[in-house]
A and B are shown apart, each in its own frame.
Chain A
Amino acid sequence: MIKARRPVMAGSVGPMIIVAVIALALYWPLMLWVNAGAAQRSLNSGADLGCATAIACATQLRNPVLPAPAQLGSSLRTMSLPPMAPTSVPYNTLVTAGETIVGLLIASVLGIGLAVGLVGSRAFERVTLPWLIASQTVPVIALAPMLAVVLGQYGVQGWLPKALIAAYIAFFPVAVGVAAGLRSPDPMQEDLLITYRASGWQTFWKLRLPASLPFLFTSLKVAATAALIGSIVAEISTISFSGLGKMLAENSRASDTLALWVIMLYGAGLGIALVAVLGLIERLVTPWRAGQSR
């Protein structure tokens, strides 16, 4: 009597909306409470906030702890318009997205190549795999500021160093994932191809590579978030003229909380969008797994 597991999303939309509404309803009093404290402190110190009481000020602080929805809305509007101006957030989001995508492409090529090497030679695997695993436990992000400096001194500038750093951070998960995928075929499937007297290449193209595709996408989804973090950190640590990281660094220095919130929302949206796009490509490339994947 094993019940079929229902897909995660089915029947979730209603509850998801309710949970979102509850979260928003809880946000309002929480926001008033934390901001009122900050406002009270400012008023006590004699600052002129342009409002009489702490509660009245809570929704219009210049640097709120949590922004009021109206404040956030107006900041979102002013920072998003016109969308393609060099100082607007959508434009900078696209810049970061471009770097991340190029980084992911480089990471895929490198990662797949490395994975083929890992699967092809036991000796190569024994020499490198422990380092690959160790490197996943290392906070690779710590390398980003230094890589940025080194690349900058060799004259690699603009969007390329960011893409390279994104690739550097993203290619380990891809390599490990694809290597696991290339090994995933059943021994019986391998034996089947041996009975066909298939060549090594044929086995690779017809069996191992298709079998590794789902693994590639699972690891690309992990890698996408990592690559995005990489390109944003790279933008912070190098001389940049555009990108979410540059805006984060600027507004962090200027302590513009509202701007930071807007940039965070765009960054979150970009992260979710990248994973969603990968999910879409996954469906197109591995149609036989439709409905199976999480």
Chain B
Amino acid sequence: MASRTVALDRGRSGGLPGLGWLAFALGAGLLLAAVWNVWSFPLDGVPPACKALSLGLIVLGLGTGIYGLAALARRMTGVIPALLAAVLALITVEGLLRAYGVPPGLIPTPTRVVTALYNSRTVLLGDARVTFVQEALLGYIAGVAAGILVALAAVRFPFLERGALPYAGLFASIPIVALAPVIVKAFGLEWPSKAIIVGITVFFPVVVNVVRGLQSANPLLLDLMQTYAVTPAASFRLVRVPSALPFLFNALKIGSTLALIGAIVGEFFGTTGQGLGFRIQIEAGRFNLDIVWAAIVIASVLGIAFYGVISWLEARFTGWHASRRQPR
């Protein structure tokens, strides 16, 4: 309660929202002016005067923009302040890189990345299909399915729970990079080897969490089912399964990030010439960092979308759960 009151007080002292927007727009405008000022020069040909002017504009624009953003962020919730911050950061980076004439082989400017994203879209989308659909998604589904089956077995047979479950915790702390080359060697360069890596990384958190979830059922509810004289199967379905859902979704969310990491790392150890991880490694070696960044952007968008879908499903199926009760 106390913290909520404090937050409200702070919100009230935030000043006028109009002023915040004004300062933000002014800052963004100054930053854009700084970019425009050095836009047309070649890399090492930025005149010192122009460079100084741009730097000055950047400092001024960033200061004004952050001031406005701070005022806005005090009264706004949701993703808008974060998006505005990204806008400021991207224009600033663009301006700084251009003012200092940083070669794109070192750090490409955001506009170059967008251009590369557009120019290489066919190749990158093909890579994304291999990495995400074939490797990450198929591996994920297989890993989750296997994890749930093993968790059910572990709950059914206490011997398995005590004998095999501690290993699952242990395996979770093994770095996948060490596992990946062995699996790629054993199963070949095609996409299945990467799907297997993904499956293994997703499997362990699912087993551990689902077992914990199935055991988290309130004993009173199990007693209640007994007083209704229902079959053990019905009791399992009515009490244990819903109790385990929040735990399962937690594992699914962890798994969604692990899946992409597993697929990308797996590709570092050999592919048939397609995949985001392959693209990142090969183009980083050729100093085509704009394509590398473009691939990273695609991987990030896929990662966030994957996570978002799981979160949406979680909200839909476990909206009743305690973790959703906070107003935020």
Contact = CB atoms under 8 A, between A and B. Distances in A.
Contacts of A153: 106
Given A19-B164, A187-B2, A272-B173, A139 B260 contact: yes
Contact of B174 (A8, A130, A248, A268): A268
A160 interface: no
Interface string A104-122: 0000000000000000001
Contact of A191 (B2, B296, B303): B2
A251 B185 CA distance: 11
Interface string B212-229: 000100010001000000
Nearest to A256: B185
Interface string A66-88: 10000000000000000000000
A8 B166 contact: yes
Contacts of A65: 186
Contacts of B73: 122-124, 126-127
B284 interface: yes
Given A16-B167, A127-B73, A134-B304, A145 B292 contact: yes
A225 B219 contact: no
A287 to B, nearest CB: 22
Contacts of A271: 173-175, 178
Nearest to A264: B178
B284 A146 contact: yes
Interface string A19-36: 110000000000000000
Contact of A263 (B178, B264, B292): B178
Interface in A108-165: 122-124, 126-131, 134, 136-143, 145-146, 148-150, 153
A139 B174 contact: no
B172 A252 contact: no
Interface string B165-193: 11101101111111101101110000000
Contacts of A191: 2
A223 B278 CA distance: 25
Contact of B177 (A3, A245, A274): A245
B39 interface: no
B173 A224 contact: yes
A11 B158 CA distance: 11
A228 interface: yes
Contacts of B265: 141, 229, 233
B185 A122 contact: no
Interface residues of A, number: 74
A251 B81 CA distance: 48
Contact of A138 (B79, B106, B300): B300
A20 to B, nearest CB: 8
Contact of B162 (A16, A233, A263): A16
Contact of B296 (A20, A146, A149, A233): A146
Nearest to B187: A65
A173 B74 CA distance: 25
Interface string B74-86: 1011010110111
Given A129-B82, A139-B264, A143-B296, A12 B2 contact: no
A11 B166 CA distance: 11
Contacts of B3: 183, 187, 190
A225 B77 CA distance: 33
Given A18-B163, A252-B269, A260-B181, A139 B107 contact: no
B41 interface: no
Contacts of B270: 252
A246 interface: no
A150 B106 contact: yes
Given A141-B265, A229-B176, 11 more contacts: A16-B167, A66-B186, A126-B73, A126-B77, A131-B82, A136-B257, A146-B296, A261-B182, A267-B174, A267-B178, A271-B175
